Amino acid sequence: MIETVKREPVFHVGCSELTGAIYAGIINKKGTKWLKQTDVTQEALAAVRDHFMNAYSSQKEPVGTVGYQWTTKDGKTITLQLNIAETHERSDLIA
């Protein structure tokens, strides 16, 4: 008897090139089409903020900046960082 294995749908997170929104949802097995998606932009940004804050607070001697860097195929550097300051100059940016 041949046993078939049912593959689960693939959960994915991606960014729309058209709108800039961050989506989470299910994509097809080939990874070429969304089957179900939800805009999670605000939640994703808050999760990244919280991730950075956890990294900051877990340092032995916290510094004002935490982040990540990636190198692109053409040799450029992309930096994503969180700067932490004691002032509240831009409280309008806090979500």
* pTM score of the predicted model: 0.67
| 32-87: pLDDT as tens digits | 889 999 999 999 999 998 998 888 888 777 666 788 899 999 999 999 988 877 76
| 53-65: pLDDT as tens digits | 888 888 777 666 7
- Return d(Cα 43, Cα 6) in angstroms, integer: 31
The answer to whether 33 and 10 have CB atoms below 8 angstroms apart is no
**Two structure tokens written together for 39:** 């805009």
